[in-house]
Amino acid sequence: MQADAVTRPLTPEHSDAFEAVMGPNGACYGCWCTYFLLPPKERAAMSAGDKHDLMMARIAAGPPPGLLLWIGDAPAGWMQIGPRAQVPQWNNPRRSSTPLPDGPADDPGVWAVTCFFLRAPYRGRGLSRVLLKAGIDHARANGARLLESSPMDHAKQSKSVGLFVGSTAVFEAAGFETVARHKPNRPLMRLAL
């Protein structure tokens, strides 16, 4: 673990740090972490600037849509975490993350970890584990009873863009268990809080 790692909820006073993490292009081809917020056609019709503005409005409106990670004074990473209802496309019945009857999307106690993003200099240092540990604590402190994820078992390349959902091994190490497998290579995992 990184001794000088600090995590904080993404509140409006940390918007600049979020922009620093996402970089000038908004990470992952201008996504700005809107992938699970909008239907694909609507998202595809938006520019990176539109997605940026949507995310900034979401941050301003609250509650915090995730956690930011700093290494020392440098913004280093981000994890989207919150109630399932805040990421409507993650609940789509055709996804690996389709909700189960005992964890419905409209239950405010059912939370999800949907995205990770680390700036290039901070990758490969185990920092997604640091973010996930902080996320578990954050979810528990904010009334979550279940925390779910749908990570990737194996990537074709260790730096695959698809790994924005996280690695199954990271979630297993944190105590998550597979509760369903709607698609190959993408379990639905859960941690009871």
Structural domain boundaries in the chain: 5-192
Strands 110-118, 146-149: pairing is parallel
Q: Is residue 162 pLDDT above 60, yes or no? A: no
**Residue 165: predicted pLDDT:** 79
CA distances from residue 80 to 32, 101, 130, 156, 184 in whole angstroms, order as listed: 11, 23, 14, 23, 23
Is residue 160 pLDDT above 50, yes or no? no
Tokens 């954050």, residue located: 138
Residue 177 has pLDDT above 60, yes or no: yes
pLDDT digits (tens, 9 = 90+) for 106-159: 999 999 999 999 998 998 889 999 999 999 999 999 999 999 999 988 755 545
For the sheet with 146-149, list strands across it: 5-9, 66-71, 74-83, 110-118, 146-149, 186-192, 177-183
What integer pLDDT is reported at residue 145 of this predicted model?
97
pLDDT at residue 166, rounded to an integer = 85
1 has a pLDDT exceeding 60: no
Global confidence as pTM = 0.92
Q: Which residues contact 153 (CB under 8 A, 6 or more apart)?
A: 168, 185, 186, 187
Higher pLDDT, 157 or 81: 81
Helix pair angle (48-61, 15-22), 10° resolution: 150
Distance of CA 48 to the CA centre of its chain: 19
pLDDT tens, 16-68?
A: 999 999 998 888 778 898 999 999 899 999 999 999 999 999 999 999 999 99
Domain 5-192: state its class.
alpha beta
